[in-house]
Amino acid sequence: DMKVTQMPRYLIKRMGENVLLECGQDMSHETMYWYRQDPGLGLQLIYISYDVDSNSEGDIPKGYRVSRKKREHFSLILDSAKTNQTSVYFCASSFRDREHEQYFGPGTRLTVL
């Protein structure tokens, strides 16, 4: 069953706290992505990972970092969360030679108070 999973699905944090969002995929995809979705803005790419320990910044990397120690897992970390990082975060994955075909997880709704 091809699937991208995200944990947790909902998270409430206070400003200044650390946040860890986790993503997993069972399709042996080399490439994984983190996006955030805000009303009226579509999806914006935060980071892209081409494989284990091979990560690149997307369009809006400031305030975020990522970790990919296993091909099937990709983590998004917010060190000292800010209120403007309240958003819905989506993870996606794809094959390296079909990066235009991405499969999305169900999303994590993060609220930073």
Q: Provide the binding-site residues for other proteins, judged by CB under 8 A.
A: 4, 31, 40-45, 48, 56, 58, 90, 92, 94, 98-107
CB of 16 to other proteins, least distance (A): 28
- The Cβ of residue 47 has, within 10 Å, a number of other Cβ atoms equal to 22
Q: Is the CB of 52 or the CB of 88 nearer to other proteins?
A: 88
Closer of 75 and 108 to other proteins (Cβ): 108
- Residue 8 to residue 17: CA distance in whole angstroms: 16
The Cα 15–Cα 3 span in angstroms is: 32
Evaluate whether 111 touches 78 at the Cβ level (below 8 Å). Answer: no
Closer CB to other proteins, residue 8 or residue 106?
106
Nearer to other proteins, 14 or 90 (CB): 90
Q: Cβ 106 to other proteins, closest distance in Å? A: 5
- Amino acid of residue 56: S
Residues 63, 44: Cα–Cα separation, whole Å: 14
Tell me: cis bond preceding 8? Omega within 30 of 0 counts.
Answer: yes
Distance of closest approach, residue 56 Cβ to other proteins, in angstroms: 7
* Minimum separation from the CB atom of position 34 to other proteins (A): 13
